[in-house]
Structure 1
């Protein structure tokens, strides 16, 4: 049957199981939006307040579900407004497909109104991108894009479609079964063959890693974001319990291992716990699972895990030996590898090692118990949310001190419930991501923890939250500063607080009210618990302005360039005054 290119887009999205897309219309994408209107009963479009919010929403949707998230924008500034969201997804290996439309073929390359080379712009931040200039290539390209986004190490793919392609007609042949789609794609495309080739480690190499674990006295696991991406949380728990191995988590893995488990040492790295940072320092075998050895974890690479043989297991061979040399490695799907490895791993007690880990777990900065009554303790905020909202609630964050406090203090026990920007550190990510999580399942409960600095960058999405009546509770951790930057200025720049004090509007409660959302103010712990309980149980959009002291610090902290074990646990009176 002959259909237009815009209808091909709709049919291919539905083929791929897409039920929701996030976007913002404009001139060159109008044909696709007309097709969305005609197919509104088949596919749901969410109108965001800004294209960047659409990209982050698609990303949040993908992280919460493991499925490919989809966003759309028109040419020029619409397309470039997606760039930060695409880069965020790229750094955190999140599968999204971004669809943009460009000027028609006859106007391409002539500096036409709202023309931009978006494929050139996004080349370094996508797994692959495409420009579709012929309607005959459209269906094949969309199918390839989804395949690439979700296969191997996931990531974003961009499709730029010229406007006349969306209007042209073409004979369309639907493909209904996933295996048929993938089979045809792989057979006819050498690049897709390469992407589809999943490394399968030999039995000999699997046994070699098992022997290393069995012979180790002080093994230690460094779990990365690949645990959640591969769905290997169950296997991680089984390995840790069987061999009695402590587990540290990167920021991206913070909900991959139960926080209340005795083997969990929580986060590792610059703001990691004493147990995690000393565990990696004193272990004799470091087992890295789906991690990329980020600079925020390893810090001084020459002194990272000096006493250990490093086993690196990851799906992406490019990560092996990139930042930290591996003694041995296994490349492939993490869940499959762990399932093959676990039967060969022996049960061990490792009493002395576990006792040492437990001793380190008791060492924690004292400052969080000594804050003035006029502000709210960040640790209390996390514990209060968890107590009232429960373990199944999704927590999203922006980027900054509030993000680190959440990672340090929130007792995550369920997979995929912590969604944050790790690699790129995108202020403005969390509100859009929270919307994506909520749209992924109407039964989800989402609490978004934001800083007042970050929330300024995306508070326009309150319009989207109100319009769709999303029961997201937004907590603005309000210290009237760009807290993370101010903290560095205090520690390393002689307390020269250049442009980090936010002692000017808005009034967050009045802003919420302007959007038709209920706003709450909390100045102490008792008020916070009361208003959060009320807001969460109301199951409606809400904003809570939670006052936090401007000089609240994130500790422990390892200064940049220092060894991971060189932690600041307590600040001197001179620094604080």
Structure 2
């Protein structure tokens, strides 16, 4: 018998060679599973993954080819994971990046990114370095020592944050770890962070690998069909309803189901509300679109949600913002049906679980409901509610004189900023945000005109995601401009990846909104009776409180110092001109930053909704006592959503 052909490589070299040969395929279209590797090197990986990436690059340069795995030098480990996530989200989870970091703090800096990826159901491969598997030099620099468990390292913190975790202590373990990680990354129902911990000595260890490990491998991303009997149950529930409402989530985008959703909505007349991840499932102006739902929703969607007798979730995980902490759907006996590729999400709210790919499930449901349409009264109410809300958006984009005349010189409202960017960018451009007050305002106000035009990370709502996430989108798609909307608080968390954009000559536009503090949490604090405590960037005053005036922090100068082109604007006309200049900025020009100051006292229109944040039950402060009373009153609207799933009698 002929022995199998082998090739001698280090573990790290084998990882790089393997990742370069992985592809995904869906509906006959292929793309690389890994667009490249983001990394920061230290003593844990510089001689392992770092050396392997160098060897790959040198070999490609000598042959006149592209490296098998493109390397990009990050500046912050958490930010590198955000960049990979931004890429994966824009590519509908069909492509991502690997991310490598050194032993100890380099690797644990990726924990926040791992949590964000897994919570948002977005694929990213993490390669944290570990201390010696042999323990020959223990304890080494940055090693965690636990007297009761010598095999535990800081990398074990990735276990609860990852959808897949393995540690490779011997070369023989690597193939199973790599294949297991790729299986999870390409499974729509299981995807999230996949983590392979690589001890630094193992990375450099040589081994004779079977050549089959490095053959091109294509991972098929399936479209599971709906179970016919359950499909019939959902169709019966729709026919028996009088005031149905669709809630479209991120699964609509990830499965490319936008056209299928439009066909379903047009055939049935059912209004469609959107979660943060699902925004843009229907384009602005579609007759069934009623916009954002829940705590940051439109009054149109929330009014229909309160009256709905059947709520059809499509690709949503039913977060508390989408359900307004279970107060959005108030009809007694309201029933739920959830179409989701993941049974875990489909089974929430004790509803009818239709486990299937969103596109295939919608196609089947549209066919099953052939000839059925909502009543005239429901359709007319949908149109009237949306027209009322759309008029409020217009008044926010272009506020009346009593609002603008009250603004200090050089200040705009946040609604004006969003309006200008929305109206003066191309429909295919991408708006990106993650935390603060802007995600809520964007959810309510932004008019999405392209299926990929809206990118808000709100599963983890991670401050600092904005710039590295925008970098990921720009790396994924150089045919669109990416506008990262970030407040001063989020900017200060993670401006570092502006330097990566400079180094890689990647164009991204950052709209830096300066309001001297945490606008969103300041408003929340005030509503909860905590008087905006600790939410403003101000000097400490003579009485010891942080209310002594704004700090002389120049964020525009900071962005310039990092290599970005910066434009400071002080009026609406200047902002319009700056957006035009940003759009004309060359693709290889690096980051373009627009700095604008806003008045945090001017808010967007209310969603007439609620979010459950507990208030102190006893206090000496009158503001807190009043907020506690209001909290108890709002809790009365919460619902357990335990209604039976059996629909009323109907005929098919």
TM normalised by structure 2 equals 0.80
CA displacement 1:118-166 (0-9 Å, x = unmatched): 4420111110211001112213311220111220322111111112222
Separation (CA, whole Å) in 2 of partners of 1:233 and 1:317: 21
Structure 2 match to 1:517: 564
Among 216, 235, 238, the residue aligned to 2:241: 216
2:335 corresponds to 1:329: no
- Please state how far the C-alpha of 1:349 moved relative to its aligned partner: 5.5
The count of aligned residue pairs is 550
2:579 corresponds to 1:532: yes
Separation (CA, whole Å) in 1 of partners of 2:386 and 2:75: 44
Deviates more, 1:367-376 or 1:444-453: 367-376
Separation (CA, whole Å) in 1 of partners of 2:610 and 2:527: 9
Among 423, 430, 444, the residue aligned to 2:480: 444
2:535 corresponds to 1:489: no
Separation (CA, whole Å) in 1 of partners of 2:434 and 2:596: 15
CA displacement 1:31-88 (0-9 Å, x = unmatched): 2111111212332111111111101001011111121332111110011111111111
Structure 2 match to 1:559: 610
CA displacement 1:5-44 (0-9 Å, x = unmatched): 1110111110113232212111111121111112123321
Native 8 Å contact 2:262 2:282 kept in 1: yes
Separation (CA, whole Å) in 2 of partners of 1:178 and 1:107: 35
2:56 corresponds to 1:39: yes
Instruction: Give SS of 1:253's match.
Output: coil
RMSD over aligned Cα atoms: 2.4
Deviates more, 1:53-62 or 1:159-168: 159-168
2:294 corresponds to 1:256: no
Native 8 Å contact 1:85 1:429 kept in 2: no
Structure 1 match to 2:597: 547
- Please state how far the C-alpha of 1:505 moved relative to its aligned partner: 4.3
Separation (CA, whole Å) in 1 of partners of 2:532 and 2:69: 52
In structure 2, the gaps of 5 or more residues are 1-6, 23-31, 58-66, 145-152, 539-549, 613-633, 639-652
Separation (CA, whole Å) in 2 of partners of 1:103 and 1:336: 46
Instruction: Give SS of 1:449's match.
Output: strand
Structure 1 match to 2:379: 354
Native 8 Å contact 1:396 1:420 kept in 2: yes
2:132 corresponds to 1:104: yes
Structure 1 match to 2:15: 9
Structure 2 match to 1:174: 212
Structure 1 match to 2:305: 280
- Within 5 Å, give how 1:35-184 maps onto structure 2: 35-40=52-57, 41-65=67-91, 66=93, 67-107=95-135, 110-116=138-144, 117-153=153-189, 154-172=191-209, 173-175=211-213, 176-178=215-217
Structure 2 match to 1:29: 45
Structure 1 residues 508 and 259: alpha-carbon distance in aligned structure 2, compared to 1, 3 A threshold: same
- Please state how far the C-alpha of 1:421 moved relative to its aligned partner: 1.9
Separation (CA, whole Å) in 2 of partners of 1:147 and 1:387: 42
CA displacement 1:279-298 (0-9 Å, x = unmatched): 11112221111112211222
- Within 5 Å, give how 1:503-514 maps onto structure 2: 503-514=550-561
- Please state how far the C-alpha of 1:105 moved relative to its aligned partner: 1.4
Deviates more, 1:544-553 or 1:306-315: 306-315
Native 8 Å contact 2:521 2:532 kept in 1: no
Separation (CA, whole Å) in 2 of partners of 1:433 and 1:84: 14
Native 8 Å contact 1:398 1:431 kept in 2: no
Native 8 Å contact 1:63 1:416 kept in 2: no
Separation (CA, whole Å) in 2 of partners of 1:497 and 1:212: 48
Separation (CA, whole Å) in 2 of partners of 1:292 and 1:147: 22
TM normalised by structure 1 equals 0.90
Instruction: Give SS of 1:295's match.
Output: coil
Which protein has the larger Cα radius of gyration, Structure 1 or Structure 2? 2
Deviates more, 1:247-256 or 1:373-382: 373-382
Native 8 Å contact 1:281 1:565 kept in 2: no
Native 8 Å contact 2:128 2:155 kept in 1: no
